[in-house]
Amino acid sequence: MQHQDDCPPALIGRWLLEAGCVVDIRRPYDGGLPLPLDLADHEALLVLGGSMGANDDESHPWLASAKELVRVAAAERKPVLGICLGHQLAAVALGGTVEVNPAGRQFGVLPLGWTERASGDPLLGSLPGDVIHWNNDVVTRVPPGAVVLAHAPDGSVQAARFAGTVWGVQAHPEVDEAIVARWAEDDRDHIGPELVDRRLAEMVAAGSALEAAWRPVAAAFAGLL
């Protein structure tokens, strides 16, 4: 599930193809194929990021359908991975809360603050060390029964298992150099040119290591099907 042009599946889409998956990309924002009403013809759900908020159903009407699909997948015990906005949508769909991060924007390469519960997790048990963040909102209350798997340096929820087969990561393991360069250009004036350029250089320098760390997560997701 893609929410805007500059937030494609990118690396994680490629890794899933390498793992033997068939990737059906739905872009409900551009008048293409709509989201399915259920997951009868799909084995899993990948919900990508976007600049809109998880509660912006009125201005982005497909978000309500996105959250319903998360609930359907959870009920049918089909694997779900939410990335950034997708992580937030999964949390809200299952009874959690998403708000603007009181600690401010998360931006750049950040370490993963894994909890003890993350060890042995079927999706995130490889415990990658770092990841790219680019977000203003965070999950401030997880759904009932959820397990927090990682905290960001500011203490916010960085990764969680929201239900038996539903995971979310607040970060962007899927992005490549071209995507972050595009985002950096869009946010240059808002964030400040010097900070944008410095963080962008850090993200580009870490690219190979980040790919090596997160490719096993995509393989684990494919292995759940």
- Please tell me the total number of residues recorded for the chain in this structure: 225
Active-site choice (3, 7, 84, 87) = 84
- Annotated catalytic residue, options 172, 185, 190, 211: 172
CB 116 within 8 A of CB 79: no
Residue 126 to residue 121: CA distance in whole angstroms: 8
Of 7, 60, 133, 174, catalytic: 174
- 174 tagged catalytic: yes
Instruction: Give yes or no: 84 in active site.
Output: yes
The string of DSSP letters for 112-177 reads -EE-GGGTT-TTTTT--SEEEEEESEEEEEPPTT-EEEEE-TTSSEEEEEEETTEEEESS-TT--H
Query: Annotated catalytic, 116?
Result: no
Structure tokens at 175: 């992005």
Active-site residues, by number, are: 84, 172, 174
